[in-house]
Amino acid sequence: MTKTTPTNLPPTPPTKPILGNIHQLREQNILLQMIEFWENYGDLFALKLGSGYTYVLTHPDHLHHVLVTNQKNYPKGAGYDSLRLLIGNGLITNDGEPWRQQRRIMQPSFTPSSITQFTDMMSEITAKLLGRWHTAADKGTLITVDDEMLRLTMSIISKAMFNIDLEEDLQEVGHALQEGFDFIAGRNATPLRMPLSIPTAKNRRFKQALDIIDSFIYERIAAGQQKQEADDLLSILLQAKDEETGQTMNKQQLRDEAVTLFFAGFETTARTLTWGWHLLTQHPEVMAKLEQEADEQLNGRLPTIGDLYNLTYTRMVTDETLRLYPPTGLLGRQAVEEDVIGGYPIPAGSRIILIPHVTHRHPAIWENPAQFDPERFTAEKVKARPKSAYIPFANGPRVCIGNNFALMEMVIALSTIANRFRLERVTAAIPFEFHGTTRPTTKLQVKIHHRS
């Protein structure tokens, strides 16, 4: 059976025989290419990729339809098969009833009230980071913000997940996770994917990384099973039950969720913090307001849970950073049944790509969309904004389970650092690339100065 071309297609870039539009999508600049397509073809366009059409959506109304209104028709689908090679069937990749059961088991551990137990730990680990910065400030030594933020977030997620401090073995597993994710990102951006059974250099490195990850995680699971007290997220999940069925997670499920949370807990948060300092060091007027709030609310001490409710401008800075640089600039779904979006029929089985990066900069929604302006996130402006215009953690039932944890971590880090140090960039403006997540093309180097 051959697939026929759907009638009433949305705008589509010119295609080549056999290749369709595949030749226009290149590793690391796929997001830039999607932005160019959007500029030329509008909020809903189609790409000929393989045997069928992929529908690309950017308007908030269309994203809301897929993620919220008709979300049951749009599971993650086969587009996440490559990622499953690394993280298995965790919350990011699972679908259907298995996903619903996992979400029911895990959700109680990630409510805003549940994660407040980690506030003091996050503050203390941030203070340790700043202890090293004092020497750099005294000597005028440059620091690399990307590396410092990765170290910070890895220390925080390792303490929260496993109640262990950053050590050499943890640095090794962090590097292995990064190696594995880079492999998956490159694989997703390549139309011709080499089977893992073929011993290429890339495949061998990926398998070595996977061995390191699995060895570390299964060791932590075994250690958690011996604990009498649930003092970290992993041991809490070991005891967690589905309220509807009473079922707990098996060893494989625990492994998949632990890998998912561990990677998402340091990589995406570190990228956002790096982008935050990238923007703040370019906008001294915003930096000054951030410092003023930190001085008034903290005055040299570490943030507590009570402070988080008063660090409103810091949260606005965080939200505006996530608007300009959402961790996941592209989201994938697959239509189960035929649907209609924006007046165009979406055939059953069609692949869907959502582009939050474009939605967050859509000129119909955001005034001066490329400008860094935290004032966009006053309560009044947030309330007036269209649904799904701002979705750094996705939306609907599949919103990121760790969003509250990440937001708390970023507010604590930004306010604590701004209260004690001022960062002065020595790197020129940095463009972005998309390699699984939205990341800077080069690292951000800064001088740090004592503020008191």
Give the residue ranges of DSSP H helices in 94-232: 96-106, 112-115, 119-139, 145-162, 168-188, 201-225
70 touches 207 (CB < 8 A): no
Tell me which amino acid residue 169 is.
D
Question: What is the band of 4 on the pLDDT scale with cuts at 50, 70, 90?
Answer: low
Name the average pLDDT for the chain. Answer: 91
Helix %, strand %, coil % for the chain, to 5? 55, 10, 35
Question: What is the band of 293 on the pLDDT scale with cuts at 50, 70, 90?
Answer: very high
Q: What is the pLDDT of residue 375?
A: 98
For residue 4, tell me if it sits in a domain: no
Helix/strand/coil for 318? helix
For residue 11, tell me if it sits in a domain: no
Take residue 250 and report the two structure tokens written for it.
């098996």
For residue 1, tell me if it sits in a domain: no
pLDDT at 207 over 70: yes
pLDDT at 224 over 90: no
pLDDT at 222 over 70: yes
Domain count, the chain: 1
Q: What is the pLDDT of residue 430?
A: 82
Q: What is the pLDDT of residue 227?
A: 81
Q: What is the pLDDT of residue 26?
A: 66
For residue 241, tell me if it sits in a domain: yes
Take residue 72 and report the two structure tokens written for it.
């049951």
pLDDT at 27 over 60: no
What mean pLDDT is predicted for residues 12-30? 80
Give the domain extent around 237: 22-450
Q: What does the longest C-alpha to C-alpha distance in the chain come to? A: 73
Question: What is the band of 434 on the pLDDT scale with cuts at 50, 70, 90?
Answer: confident
Question: What is the band of 288 on the pLDDT scale with cuts at 50, 70, 90?
Answer: very high
Query: Distance between CA 432 and CA 438 in Å, rounded?
Result: 7
**pLDDT per residue as tens digits for the range 389-414:** 999 999 999 999 999 999 999 999 99
Q: What is the pLDDT of residue 15?
A: 87
The radius of gyration of the chain from alpha carbons, rounded to an integer in Å, stands at 22
Half-sphere exposure of 278 (CA within 13 A, CB side): 25
Q: What is the pLDDT of residue 373?
A: 98
For residue 330, tell me if it sits in a domain: yes
For residue 3, tell me if it sits in a domain: no
Query: Distance between CA 315 and CA 264 in Å, rounded?
Result: 20
**pTM listed for this prediction:** 0.94
Question: What is the band of 5 on the pLDDT scale with cuts at 50, 70, 90?
Answer: low
pLDDT at 12 over 90: yes
**Which contiguous run of DSSP H or E holds residue 422?**
strand 421-425
Contacts of 284 (CB under 8 A, 6+ apart): none
Tell me which amino acid residue 365 is.
I
Specify the pairing of strand 331-334 against strand 351-354. antiparallel
What mean pLDDT is predicted for residues 424-449? 86
Query: Distance between CA 319 and CA 272 in Å, rounded?
Result: 10
Return the DSSP state at 11: P
Query: Distance between CA 369 and CA 347 in Å, rounded?
Result: 33
Give the whole-number percent of the chain exceeding pLDDT 70.
96
Distance set, CA 245 to CA 90, 102, 271, 290, 398 (Å): 19, 11, 38, 47, 21
What mean pLDDT is predicted for residues 15-38? 83
For residue 300, tell me if it sits in a domain: yes
What mean pLDDT is predicted for residues 217-224? 91
What mean pLDDT is predicted for residues 368-390? 97
Question: What is the band of 2 on the pLDDT scale with cuts at 50, 70, 90?
Answer: very low
Return the minimum-mean-pLDDT range out of 3-12, 261-270, 384-393: 3-12
Q: What is the pLDDT of residue 169?
A: 62
**pLDDT per residue as tens digits for the range 139-174:** 999 999 999 999 999 999 999 999 988 665 667 888
pLDDT at 190 over 80: no
Q: What is the pLDDT of residue 1?
A: 39
Q: What is the pLDDT of residue 437?
A: 80
Question: What is the band of 23 on the pLDDT scale with cuts at 50, 70, 90?
Answer: confident
For residue 388, tell me if it sits in a domain: yes
Query: Distance between CA 259 and CA 56 in Å, rounded?
Result: 29
